Amino acid sequence: MSPQKYRLGCDIGGTFTDFVLLNDETGDIHVHKCLTTPGDPSQALETGVTGLSQQAPHFVPHLDEVIHGTTLVINAIIERKGARTALITTKGFRDILELAREIRYAPYDAMACFPEPLVPRSRRWEVDERIAADGRIVHELDERQARQVLDSILQQGVRSIAISLINSFENPVHELRLKNLARELAPDIPVSISYEVLPQIREYERTSTTVTNAYVKPLTESYLARLSRRLSLLGFKGKLFIMLSSGGVTSVETAKQFPVRIIESGPTAAVIAGQYYGKLFGIKDLFCFDMGGTTAKSCLIQDGVAEVVPSFEVGRVQRFLKGSGLTIQVPVLDLMEIGAGGGSVAHMSRLGTLRVGPESSGALPGPACYGQGGKLPTVTDADLLLGYLNEDYFLGGRMPLDPAAAKDAILNMVARPLGISLLRATWGIHDLVNETMAAAARTHIAEKGGDPGLVTVLAFGGAGPVHAFGLTRKLGARRLLVPPRAGVGSALGFFTAPRAFDLVRSHMVALNAADLHHLENMLMRMEEESSSALGGSDSHVEFSRSVDARFLGQGAETNVLLPSIPLFKLGKERIRALFDETYKKLYGRTYPDSPIEFVSFRVRASLPLRLLELPRQPLGGTDATSALKSKRLAYCQIEGSMVHHDVYDRYRLLAGMSFSGPAIVEERESTIIVGHGASARVDELGFLWIDL
């Protein structure tokens, strides 16, 4: 037996924690799912490892690596449970967090409000210094005043410090000096400086991102230290990796230093898995739909690639309105929150209409049917009463559900207040969630130039396959794809993610005036930094480069991929040709006589991908009767009533088998609904292809 033959993927979500154990020698995959422990999420990790040990005894000493994704960081921001943080900025920029971009996200809403900054004005301090846009020192840092500011900050009892000075991306000398002073006066307090977190133009975005990093840094460091300790006590001697929001995987040390990069760490893994499956089957447009216990996220994968965008928002005041949240400028997969999760609470709005979410019951107490004291009706309660979930087979029977509690919750909080029947209220909750998600998904797909009717919907998450059929039908799409072990899709997706780290640095210079040798040296330094963040062997690291460029006077940049050759060998004419080619592809024309300028340079370092070999299913003919478990009454929208559905055991569905809806397919971590008029077939890898 190989000394290190296992890999473990662990995704800690808001409601459930998912585990996938992969044996690289045999290809065997073991799965476990348990409730998240909000007080200390690392406790759920120990529970999961114990559960997996029953399937693969004594596997921990043979673990090569653990790949981890978590919602801890984004939850800390949304719930405002980060560290007491202070901000030091240049004199005159104290209010940058409120001023932001001076754009109202809802110009005709007189009551529109913005999220409160993570650092209140009383803990934002100015220092007397100034760096010019070209990096020249206009005014030296007043160190005496800087010490006084730091003394005042420490008297406020802060646990983290953010430093963001004007134009420090061109010359960080003052930020570095402040960082050294802070470490001298308070060595135990973590410091985040913008030159290390985000050395990029645009003052608000850079400051907001640096503040966010500082706000969650103590919490993340403490959590990852506890996680490492628990793994060590369990006998783990391998490597711990953390999923980045950009779709890469990095070392735990880098995640501790830059926790702002792991905000979307959990949902990202499902998209990376979707990207892998899309390439595997040659599907051009794939709509990745991941619905868990707290939220539903989506991403459009086009031509086998999920787009990485340079910024996103968290903690929106208006859930679906861009501009109403805190701006974070780090590379992230273009994920979109499109709806509620299984634990989202249903209630009557102030207008007397049905509403679902955004409040969630979480892992504790959870939906009413969990039997943990929850009294509020949720999406999961509705799915149970509609017959879609099996009360005796939730999590494979390890967690029986209570339909009576679900019934009481929906009756008391939805049906009676709205004056409608229990069945109508229950179906209303389920259908409203689907309609909300479909509306958001149509917009998301259209914004990317896609056609909702032509996409293949790919479902992940514990609640995703339950709602995917309804979502697909409302989109007008013709095909739904549900991979094996869809309920733990994110944890499985970790094995398809590259070990990669992205770095960006702003340096504004016109192409005609640029010193390509100087820029090449800067890119080489960036490659060294991004390589060290991976913690891998330099000989195996691959690099990709790009530049954000624009016409002189233009306000927005265009990202241009650069070949892997030195800039001075590439030459200015070829660089200009690449810009024109990219710009014309995006906008239909270009302006060859207008000069261009460089704004920011980007580098991605990546290590070779360890491929995931999916186990093949044995052939079983076309008749799926042998996989039939029972028949169960469940709601059919076409009939408008409860009708009998065939219930299939997914573990007995073999390659080649097919069946028609209405049907329900059960597996331990999730349940798949195949609606009236649809046909389903199983392929050799165990994927369920559902044609509407």
pLDDT tens digit string along 48-101? 888 898 888 889 888 888 999 887 888 788 778 899 999 999 999 999 999 888
Do 242 and 252 form a contact (C-beta atoms < 8 A)? yes
What's CA 480's distance to the chain center, in Å? Answer: 22
Same-domain check for residues 191 and 98: yes
Same-domain check for residues 368 and 477: no
- In Å, how far are 343, 354, 435, 523 from 350, measured between CA atoms? 21, 10, 20, 56
pLDDT level of residue 339 (50, 70, 90 thresholds): low
Q: Domain for residue 681, yes or no?
A: yes
Say whether pLDDT at 319 is over 80. Answer: no
Say whether pLDDT at 276 is over 50. Answer: yes
pLDDT digits (tens, 9 = 90+) for 29-43: 888 888 888 778 888
Q: Domain for residue 613, yes or no?
A: no
Residues 6+ apart with CB under 8 A from 170: 131, 132, 133, 134, 135, 506, 507
Say whether pLDDT at 184 is over 60. Answer: yes
Same-domain check for residues 328 and 439: yes
* Number of Cβ within a 10 Å radius of residue 37: 17
Domain count, the chain: 6
The stretch 272-279 carries a mean pLDDT of: 88
Say whether pLDDT at 667 is over 50. Answer: yes
pLDDT digits (tens, 9 = 90+) for 540-559: 788 999 999 999 989 889 99
pLDDT digits (tens, 9 = 90+) for 557-583: 999 999 989 999 999 999 999 999 999
User: Which 3 state secondary structure label does DSSP give 47?
Assistant: helix
pLDDT level of residue 109 (50, 70, 90 thresholds): confident
Last residue of a domain, one of 221, 253, 286: 221
- CATH number of the structural domain spanning residue 36: 3.30.420.40
Bridging pattern class, strands 29-35 and 671-674:
unpaired
pLDDT level of residue 115 (50, 70, 90 thresholds): confident
Identity of the amino acid at 351: L
The stretch 126-152 carries a mean pLDDT of: 94
The stretch 247-266 carries a mean pLDDT of: 86
pLDDT level of residue 2 (50, 70, 90 thresholds): low
- In Å, how far are 141, 153, 167, 526 from 181, measured between CA atoms? 12, 13, 20, 26
What percent of the chain lies above the pLDDT cut of 90?
49
Q: Domain for residue 614, yes or no?
A: no
Write out the DSSP string of 420-456: --HHHHHHHHHHHHHHHHHHHHHHHHHHTT--TTTPE
Q: Domain for residue 101, yes or no?
A: yes
Last residue of a domain, one of 415, 430, 445: 430
Q: Domain for residue 618, yes or no?
A: no
pLDDT digits (tens, 9 = 90+) for 589-617: 999 999 999 999 999 888 877 767 788 88
Cα separation of 666 and 389, whole Å? 8
Our CA angle for 32, 472, 457, nearest 5°, is 55
Same-domain check for residues 486 and 588: no
The domain of 578 spans: 500-606
pLDDT attached to residue 84: 95
Q: 333 has which bridge partners?
A: 308
Same-domain check for residues 649 and 546: no
- In Å, how far are 195, 383, 601 from 546, measured between CA atoms? 20, 47, 6
Same-domain check for residues 101 and 36: no
User: Which 3 state secondary structure label does DSSP give 646?
Assistant: strand
Same-domain check for residues 439 and 333: yes
Selection from 315, 345, 309, 50 nearest residue 208 by Cα: 315
Same-domain check for residues 586 and 597: yes
Of residues 91 and 4, more confidence is placed in 91
Alpha helices by DSSP H, 198-331: 203-233, 252-257, 265-281
Cα separation of 610 and 9, whole Å? 13
Q: Tokens representing 297?
A: 């996220």
Last residue of a domain, one of 375, 404, 430: 430
Average pLDDT, the chain: 89
Cα separation of 664 and 658, whole Å? 13
Same-domain check for residues 102 and 206: yes
pLDDT attached to residue 27: 80
Cα separation of 439 and 437, whole Å? 5
Bridging pattern class, strands 596-606 and 542-551:
antiparallel
Q: Domain for residue 473, yes or no?
A: yes
Where is mean pLDDT largest: 305-309, 456-460, 491-495?
456-460
Q: Would you call 609 exposed, middle or buried from its count of C-beta atoms within 10 A (0-12, 13-18, 19+)?
A: middle
Say whether pLDDT at 45 is over 90. Answer: no
Same-domain check for residues 306 and 445: yes
Say whether pLDDT at 217 is over 70. Answer: yes
User: Which 3 state secondary structure label does DSSP give 538?
Assistant: helix
pLDDT attached to residue 4: 63
Q: Domain for residue 616, yes or no?
A: no
Residues 6+ apart with CB under 8 A from 405: 368, 369, 371, 374, 381
Selection from 545, 553, 562, 552 nearest residue 511 by Cα: 552
Same-domain check for residues 303 and 161: no
pLDDT attached to residue 97: 92
Q: Domain for residue 87, yes or no?
A: yes
The stretch 4-19 carries a mean pLDDT of: 84
pLDDT level of residue 1 (50, 70, 90 thresholds): very low
Same-domain check for residues 460 and 536: no
Say whether pLDDT at 588 is over 80. Answer: yes
- CATH number of the structural domain spanning residue 557: 3.30.1490
